[in-house]
Chains A and B, each alone.
Chain A
Amino acid sequence: MIESGAFTPQLAASPEAQLLWLIPALPMAAAGIASLLKQGARRSSAALAIGSMSVSLLISLAAFFHSVGLWTVGQTARETVNFAWLHFGSSSVELGWILDPLSAVMLVMVCFVGLLIFIYSTGYMAHDERFGRFFCFLALFAGGMLTVVIANSLLLLFMGWEIVGLTSYLLIGFWYHKPSAAAAAKKAFLTTRVGDIFFLLGMVWLAAQTGTLLFYNNGTGSIESSAIATLLSQPAAFGLSAATVVGLLIFAGAVGKSGQLPLHVWLPDAMEGPTPVSALIHAATMVAAGVYLVARVYPLMNGGLMSCCTSPTLNVVTWVGASTAIFAALIAVAQNDIKRILAYSTVSQLGYMMAGIGMGGVAVGMFHLITHAFFKALLFMGAGSVIHGCHEEQDIRKMGGLKADMPWTFVSYAVGMMALSGVPIFFSGFWSKDAILEAAFHWTTAKAPFYMLVVGALLTVFYMTRQVLYVFFGTWRGHHPAHESPAVMTVPLAILAFFAMALGLLGTPVLPLFRSFLNGEAGPLDITALAESEFWLFLGISTVIVSVGFYLGYKLYGREPIPADAPDPLEASARPVWTLLANKFYIDELYEATLLRFYAWWGTVSDFLDRAVWGGIVTSVARLFALLATFNRFLDSEWVNGAFDKSCEELAHSGGLLARVQNGQAQRYLRILAIAVAVLAAILIWSSRA
């Protein structure tokens, strides 16, 4: 796999770093083997996926603790293993993997959440006919995602990125017999492709400017200071530097993958896939890949500045993130599908992450990414459990009162909901969202994002309250009574719930372990943070947001049980707003009316050109020739034919003589052959003699 001569390890790479490639390779190998298994081999296929993922988790943990160990002794914990992949003459394309705090944290998260979701899937998909194939896809997805995580090269990252996109397509359309699922899969694929084109352009540009796609390579990597300096000095269009343009192009890829405005349309539709897929791909990991990408190329995004968060690229990131956050939260308020609400919530939270990275740096955004992965996976799996228990019902208006029927699911779902809402102190969502708000508050460029994010947080609390009240409180509005899910589904829920609460402890202002780990600083126990007024200010803001959100939600939905076919209380009170939100701000319709209409129009124009213009020309030419031909035929039949027929007869006659030679008898052919040989040999002999 590795050419020994091509090694350029930055530190003398540790064994953990050397073996990092195993983490994505194992699930991929599992997928490869599983794809060869028979369809009936359900158990072995699942065992392969889960087993490979467990081993990957163990290796990631080892790598993580190795990284933590380096950090505690104060070393820069960044190890890379690079190797040449293709040689073109003297130049070569290099790939490599990296073990630094960012990838270590991400690895553990992806492996852990992935493993839990794999286990959960064995319960959720238990009755599916193509169980084995599902696990094959899941394992392939995990492999691709982990490739993205460990990549030390934009190219390798892009490869993983595309594998992830492919498996996302396969898994959204897993139930391809449903037309809506097939359409959603196509939509997801095409929409993300728009972003990927920009990503590819940015990548090519970056390679052209810096000559390498490696991130870190002993100071010659593409996002290390020398390369960034080159990029900054290189002007592009509109007075922007090449660094800015490349950053924006790469960010466009992230926008597509992470469902940011305006390419968010595919993500809610992607909920057509099986719920574990929604949990794994469209909540916890894949959509986070965009955020991870931005975090990974942060030096580029930051424009090589030491001070944080003022580069034009990060401005764009921030504004896009903040608008997405509030925009998606607004839509989520008026949705009725349990998974769609969560999907919009995901879009909104991804906006938070982007904004967090844009305003507060890598650590802020990544912390929210990690906590969000846990509690959103938890929520999705809880939703899956609810759907499973309610016989594949997804409309929250047809649920209700599940608190009693599904206690385990309810408790864990409530934990997830409170984590997402950011209920202070005990839930991880609070700490991570708090950090983003704090960063927004301190952002010097503009204040608007801060207010947008606060309103977004309020809306988040509101729609989650609405959802929980609809689903778990009140009275049962469905047909068949619901039932609790099996242990294989609830146990992962419980584990995730635990982490949804506990993870916050890593990022409190008192002990900002996560931030210092990612930034490679010493991790101080900063008790004084407690005494700062700012801490209490944000605690207060959060408390107010959460209380107001809960109150509003309870006032509208919780005071009395909602009857089965009553309109939504919000709809009753503010119909135009509701309609606008329920139709997702008409974005799909807007695209329909503009982009798709344009394509259709362009198609019609092309058709017209084809048929009327070119077709007309061709037809008239053809007519002309037909006319000539008629004239010709007249000449032919009257004048030429007479002569020609005669000569033909003659030819046929003489041909008949020759045809006797070829009478189908092998021996005659052989005879002619022998004569030829004899004659040729004789000529040869006598000519050579002369």
Chain B
Amino acid sequence: MSLVFWILAAIAVLGGLAAMLLRSTVHCALALTVAFAGIALLFLNLGAQFAGFVQILVYVGAVAILLVFAILLTRGSEPPTHGVFSTTWLAGLVIAAAVFAVLGSSVLSSQRMLPHESTAPAAPVVEIGQALAGPYILPLEMIAVLLTAALIGAVIIALHEKEGEQ
């Protein structure tokens, strides 16, 4: 396993940890951006160029900004008055650890069955495009509908109430 992979993994994991641990909500969002970027770099490292760039475009360029806006709109940028973790944080942590234990043990125990190192496959954009417009055309259309619905839904959810002031 190359050094580069471990560095990138460290970036992603540390970013994620920071996103979940920092006190300031905005810092969390920024740390999340780092995590997203780390994941994108992992994608690139794994040879998925297109997915990597899409990851940056969508997550760093859109989702992170959206989060930041939501934080500012809900006064989340103000310093928290009391604890940032819920009263039952210990239970949550234990459960998450249990999940990790299950997942990790299953990965490690099935290592022998997993395929070994192979040459990096090429995923040219042309082929992805042809696949999207060919066998995956139905999912693509459904995603289009979903995105439209989400757009409208998000607007409606965020706009309702206080009709009197319109």
Asked whether the complex places CB atoms of A and B closer than 8 A, the reply is: yes
Which residues in A have some Cβ–Cβ distance to B below 8 Å?
667-668, 671, 674-675, 677-678, 681-682, 685, 689
Residue interface mask B77-104, A partner, CB < 8 A = 1: 0000000001010011001101100110
Minimum C-beta distance from A185 to chain B (A): 44
Roughly how many angstroms separate A682 CA and B102 CA in the complex, as a whole number? 6
Roughly how many angstroms separate A258 CA and B103 CA in the complex, as a whole number? 84
| CB atoms of B99 and A667 under 8 A apart | no
B109 at the interface (CB under 8 A from A): yes
Roughly how many angstroms separate A668 CA and B91 CA in the complex, as a whole number? 10
Q: Can you spell out 21 A-B residue pairs with CB atoms less than 8 angstroms apart?
A: A667-B86, A667-B88, A668-B88, A671-B88, A671-B95, A674-B95, A674-B96, A674-B99, A675-B98, A678-B95, A678-B99, A678-B102, A681-B102, A681-B103, A681-B106, A682-B102, A685-B102, A685-B105, A685-B106, A685-B109, A689-B109
Roughly how many angstroms separate A689 CA and B109 CA in the complex, as a whole number? 9
Q: Find the A residue at minimum CB distance from B105.
A: A685
| CB atoms of B92 and A671 under 8 A apart | yes
What are the 3 tightest A-B residue pairs by CB atom distance, in nearest-first order?
Answer: A685-B106, A678-B99, A674-B95
Residues of B within 8 A of A681 (CB): 99, 102-103, 106
Residues of B within 8 A of A675 (CB): 95, 98
- For the residues of A in contact with B, the DSSP-based class is helix
Q: Find the A residue at minimum CB distance from B92.
A: A671
Roughly how many angstroms separate A685 CA and B103 CA in the complex, as a whole number? 9
Minimum C-beta distance from A635 to chain B (A): 49
Q: Find the B residue at minimum CB distance from A675.
A: B95
Residues of B within 8 A of A674 (CB): 95-96, 99
| Known A667-B86, A671-B88; 13 more pairs at CB < 8 Å | A668-B88, A671-B92, A671-B95, A674-B96, A674-B99, A675-B98, A678-B98, A681-B102, A681-B103, A681-B106, A685-B102, A685-B106, A685-B109
Residues of A within 8 A of B86 (CB): 667
| CB atoms of A677 and B99 under 8 A apart | yes
Residues of A within 8 A of B99 (CB): 674, 677-678, 681
Roughly how many angstroms separate A674 CA and B91 CA in the complex, as a whole number? 11
Roughly how many angstroms separate A675 CA and B98 CA in the complex, as a whole number? 8
Minimum C-beta distance from A381 to chain B (A): 56
Residues of B within 8 A of A685 (CB): 102, 105-106, 109
Residues of B within 8 A of A667 (CB): 86, 88, 92
Minimum C-beta distance from A272 to chain B (A): 48
Residues of A within 8 A of B103 (CB): 681
Residues of A within 8 A of B95 (CB): 671, 674-675, 678
User: Residue among A668, A674, A675, A678 with the most chain B CB within 10 A?
Assistant: A678
Roughly how many angstroms separate A674 CA and B96 CA in the complex, as a whole number? 8
Roughly how many angstroms separate A522 CA and B106 CA in the complex, as a whole number? 99
Roughly how many angstroms separate A160 CA and B17 CA in the complex, as a whole number? 75
Q: Find the B residue at minimum CB distance from A681.
A: B102
| CB atoms of A671 and B102 under 8 A apart | no
Q: Which of B31-89 contact A (CB under 8 A)?
A: 86, 88
Residues of B within 8 A of A689 (CB): 109
Minimum C-beta distance from B83 to chain A (A): 14
Residues of B within 8 A of A678 (CB): 95, 98-99, 102
Q: Find the B residue at minimum CB distance from A674.
A: B95
Roughly how many angstroms separate A164 CA and B98 CA in the complex, as a whole number? 77
Residues of B within 8 A of A668 (CB): 88
Residues of B within 8 A of A677 (CB): 99
Roughly how many angstroms separate A677 CA and B101 CA in the complex, as a whole number? 12
Q: Find the A residue at minimum CB distance from B100.
A: A678
Residues of B within 8 A of A682 (CB): 102
Residue interface mask B103-134, A partner, CB < 8 A = 1: 10110010000000000000000000000000
Minimum C-beta distance from B98 to chain A (A): 5
| CB atoms of A671 and B98 under 8 A apart | no
Roughly how many angstroms separate A23 CA and B86 CA in the complex, as a whole number? 77
Roughly how many angstroms separate A386 CA and B91 CA in the complex, as a whole number? 95
Residues of A within 8 A of B88 (CB): 667-668, 671
Q: Find the A residue at minimum CB distance from B110.
A: A685
Residues of A within 8 A of B98 (CB): 675, 678
Roughly how many angstroms separate A557 CA and B157 CA in the complex, as a whole number? 82
Roughly how many angstroms separate A667 CA and B98 CA in the complex, as a whole number? 17
Roughly how many angstroms separate A667 CA and B89 CA in the complex, as a whole number? 10
Minimum C-beta distance from B108 to chain A (A): 11
Residues of A within 8 A of B96 (CB): 674
Roughly how many angstroms separate A671 CA and B105 CA in the complex, as a whole number? 21
Minimum C-beta distance from A93 to chain B (A): 35
User: Residue among B88, B99, B102 with the most chain A CB within 10 A?
Assistant: B102
Roughly how many angstroms separate A677 CA and B86 CA in the complex, as a whole number? 22
Minimum C-beta distance from B133 to chain A (A): 32
Residues of B within 8 A of A671 (CB): 88, 91-92, 95
Minimum C-beta distance from B26 to chain A (A): 22
Minimum C-beta distance from B151 to chain A (A): 24
Minimum C-beta distance from B77 to chain A (A): 22
Roughly how many angstroms separate A668 CA and B96 CA in the complex, as a whole number? 13
Roughly how many angstroms separate A690 CA and B145 CA in the complex, as a whole number? 44
Roughly how many angstroms separate A689 CA and B110 CA in the complex, as a whole number? 9
Roughly how many angstroms separate A75 CA and B11 CA in the complex, as a whole number? 94
Roughly how many angstroms separate A689 CA and B102 CA in the complex, as a whole number? 14
Minimum C-beta distance from A330 to chain B (A): 70
Q: Find the B residue at minimum CB distance from A685.
A: B106
Roughly how many angstroms separate A674 CA and B95 CA in the complex, as a whole number? 7
Q: Find the A residue at minimum CB distance from B98.
A: A678
Roughly how many angstroms separate A675 CA and B95 CA in the complex, as a whole number? 6
Minimum C-beta distance from B165 to chain A (A): 29
Minimum C-beta distance from A455 to chain B (A): 76
Minimum C-beta distance from A379 to chain B (A): 62
Roughly how many angstroms separate A537 CA and B87 CA in the complex, as a whole number? 117
Roughly how many angstroms separate A94 CA and B98 CA in the complex, as a whole number? 71
Residues of A within 8 A of B92 (CB): 667, 671
Q: Find the A residue at minimum CB distance from B89.
A: A667
Roughly how many angstroms separate A681 CA and B103 CA in the complex, as a whole number? 8
Minimum C-beta distance from B107 to chain A (A): 10
Roughly how many angstroms separate A319 CA and B102 CA in the complex, as a whole number? 96
Residues of A within 8 A of B106 (CB): 681, 685
Roughly how many angstroms separate A677 CA and B95 CA in the complex, as a whole number? 10
Roughly how many angstroms separate A674 CA and B88 CA in the complex, as a whole number? 14
Minimum C-beta distance from A612 to chain B (A): 55
Roughly how many angstroms separate A45 CA and B60 CA in the complex, as a whole number? 58
Roughly how many angstroms separate A668 CA and B86 CA in the complex, as a whole number? 11
Roughly how many angstroms separate A675 CA and B88 CA in the complex, as a whole number? 14
Roughly how many angstroms separate A677 CA and B109 CA in the complex, as a whole number? 19
Residues of A within 8 A of B91 (CB): 671
Minimum C-beta distance from A685 to chain B (A): 5
Q: Find the B residue at minimum CB distance from A670.
A: B92
Minimum C-beta distance from B123 to chain A (A): 30
Minimum C-beta distance from A672 to chain B (A): 9
Roughly how many angstroms separate A538 CA and B54 CA in the complex, as a whole number? 97
Roughly how many angstroms separate A685 CA and B99 CA in the complex, as a whole number? 13
Q: Find the A residue at minimum CB distance from B101.
A: A678
Residues of A within 8 A of B102 (CB): 678, 681-682, 685
Residues of A within 8 A of B109 (CB): 685, 689
Minimum C-beta distance from B159 to chain A (A): 23
Roughly how many angstroms separate A473 CA and B99 CA in the complex, as a whole number? 107
Roughly how many angstroms separate A682 CA and B106 CA in the complex, as a whole number? 8
